[in-house]
Amino acid sequence: MTKRIFRSHLALALTVLLAALALILGALYSYFSSIQQRQLAMQTQLAAQGVAKLGMAYFDGLDVRDYRLSWIDADGTVLYDSAADTAAIENHLQRPEVRQALAEGQGQDRRLSSTMMERYLYTAQALPDGTVLRLSIAQSSLLAMVLGAGQALAVVLLLALGLSALLARRLSRRIVEPLTELDLDAPLENDSYEELEPLLHRLDSQQRQLRAQTELRRQFTANVSHELKTPLHVISGYAELIESGMVRDEDIRPFAGKICAEVRQMVKLVEDIISLSHLDEGAQNVRLEPLDLYAAAGDAVQALIPEAERVGVALELCGRSAKVLAAPSLLHSIVFNLCENSVKYGRPGGHVWVRAEPEEDGCALLTVRDDGPGIPLEQQERIFERFYRGEKSRCKDVPGTGLGLSIVKHAALVLGADIRLDSVPGRGTAVTVRFPPPAGG
């Protein structure tokens, strides 16, 4: 990263340097061209005074060297030219600087010479007799100017390159240094760039979530081990008694019944754990389809009637058809677990009401209400936790895995449904699940 920043800064510095150099050279070229034009005009005026006094004699023995001097008649005929034979020179009446001088007294132009094939500066001065004296000089190109100052420019470029490399190296180190010194174990304790604050806060949040998930997995593993260990001890104890021959024949059947009950409890626990693991993966592999919430509630009530009659709780279904977009297994898990929970924890001789109905906005409501003992306020926020079963004194004789409401919570999350709990100790509990309207409904 340091090398990339160094190269970027160096490239940027060199780009700016070359662009600035090009602009400076362009400005200097324009500046010196204007100075050269003014000097040429001054020299033309001086020469014009000499020609006005001496005439053609002014040109005798005249050494103009780098300049080209032309004397042009009012009709454009070239009377004298220091660079060529006048007989071979075309009429100059249409030359811009000549026409301007005839009209205004002075004229100037810069162009590519048709005879010398070089870029020239031209200055013309009208004489009292109506003739025009013109002076021209070859203008050095920008490339020639750069080549002429090549040594000085090379020194400047080398110095600028060295300085740019030094500054880019120091700057890249200063930029990267705070990043290399970040303490990722304590993101919020770093004194770094303000722009990194969102990233550091996100890292801190992810670390806290990771620690929470690690603790949750640890607790989950401990709870699973505990929940499996208890029925295994019971099964092992009864099996050893039967194996040792210490059990009377008439007790074998009750012992086998105890073993079967514990096995069913273990199977239920394993099934609930598998369901939770699938729900933890999210909704990627869940196929949703239109379902009737009232029909799903009816299926759950029918399945729980024998258990309700056994514990002396009356189950009642009411409401009407309500369409939801859900997976059949998830919808059944929500309805069945809520109803089973109310039946298990309801009071003998009590009542459980299950209601499914649509709302005007297209949502569907499922309400499971009982008149049982209710849930203390301090426990209401925890009942959807895995393996949480409320007060041990109240729950120790109630069969279950402690995962039912957790499955309800996660299944509702996958389906996009909201859960509301209303419970008053001594007056019962109501759980309401609000399903979103089906797409296009």
Q: Are residues 90 and 74 in the same domain?
A: yes
Burial group, residue 428, by CB count within 10 angstroms (0-12, 13-18, 19+): buried
Q: Of 280, 297, 314, which residue constitutes the final position of a domain?
A: 280
pLDDT score of 205: 81
Q: Are residues 200 and 91 in the same domain?
A: no
Q: Are residues 267 and 387 in the same domain?
A: no
Q: Order across the sheet with 418-424: list the strands.
A: 314-319, 351-358, 364-370, 428-435, 418-424
Question: Do 48 and 40 form a contact (C-beta atoms < 8 A)?
Answer: no
In a domain, 276, yes or no: yes
In a domain, 155, yes or no: no
Q: DSSP assignment, residue 362?
A: S
Low-confidence ranges of the chain (pLDDT < 70): 1-3, 5-6, 9, 113-118, 140-150, 175-183, 188-196, 216, 219-230, 265, 268-269, 271-286, 386-402, 439-441
pLDDT score of 331: 87
In a domain, 123, yes or no: yes
If residue 367 lies in a helix (H) or strand (E), which one and from where to where?
Answer: strand 364-370
In a domain, 319, yes or no: yes
In a domain, 275, yes or no: yes
Q: Are residues 269 and 231 in the same domain?
A: yes
Residue 21 CB coordination number (10 Å): 15
pTM over 0.75: no
In a domain, 174, yes or no: no
Q: Of 234, 251, 280, which residue constitutes the final position of a domain?
A: 280
Q: At what angle do helices 404-415 and 328-345 cross, to 10 degrees?
A: 150
Q: Of 280, 308, 323, which residue constitutes the final position of a domain?
A: 280
pLDDT score of 275: 64
In a domain, 31, yes or no: yes
- Residue 99, amino acid: R
Q: Are residues 326 and 260 in the same domain?
A: no
Displacement of CA 103 from its chain's centroid (Å): 70
Q: Are residues 46 and 114 in the same domain?
A: yes
Residue range 12-70, pLDDT digits in tens: 777 887 788 778 877 877 887 888 888 888 988 888 888 888 888 888 888 777 788 99
Domain count, the chain: 3
CATH code: domain of residue 276: 1.10.287.130
Q: Are residues 305 and 347 in the same domain?
A: yes
The count of residues in the chain is 441
Q: Are residues 233 and 297 in the same domain?
A: no
Radius of gyration of the chain from its Cα atoms, rounded to whole angstroms = 50
Residue range 111-165, pLDDT digits in tens: 876 555 567 889 999 999 999 999 988 876 666 666 666 677 778 778 877 887 8
**Can you tell me the distance from the alpha carbon of 148 to that of 144, in angstroms, rounded to the nearest whole number?**
6
Question: Do 333 and 407 form a contact (C-beta atoms < 8 A)?
Answer: yes
**Can you tell me the distance from the alpha carbon of 352 to that of 344, in angstroms, rounded to the nearest whole number?**
10
Scanning 281-380, the segments in alpha helix (DSSP H) are 293-311, 328-345
In a domain, 177, yes or no: no
CATH code: domain of residue 35: 3.30.450.20
Q: Are residues 254 and 303 in the same domain?
A: no
How far apart, in Å, are the Cα atoms of 14 and each of 5, 90, 166, 201? 14, 50, 13, 37
Q: DSSP assignment, residue 321?
A: -
Residue 361, classed as helix, strand or coil, is coil
pLDDT score of 125: 92
Question: Do 75 and 129 form a contact (C-beta atoms < 8 A)?
Answer: no
Residue 187 CB coordination number (10 Å): 20
Residue 87, classed as helix, strand or coil, is helix
The b/e string for 342-368 (b: 16+ C-beta within 10 A; e otherwise) is bbbbbeeebbbbbbbebeeeebbbbbb
Domain that holds residue 344: 286-441
Q: Are residues 428 and 366 in the same domain?
A: yes
Q: Are residues 238 and 258 in the same domain?
A: yes
- Residue 90, amino acid: E
CATH code: domain of residue 396: 3.30.565.10
Residue given tokens 């890292």 in the structure block: 203
pLDDT score of 393: 39
Say if strands 314-319 and 289-292 run parallel, antiparallel, or are unpaired: unpaired
Q: Are residues 210 and 333 in the same domain?
A: no
The b/e string for 116-139 (b: 16+ C-beta within 10 A; e otherwise) is eeeebbbbbbbbeeebbbbbbbeb
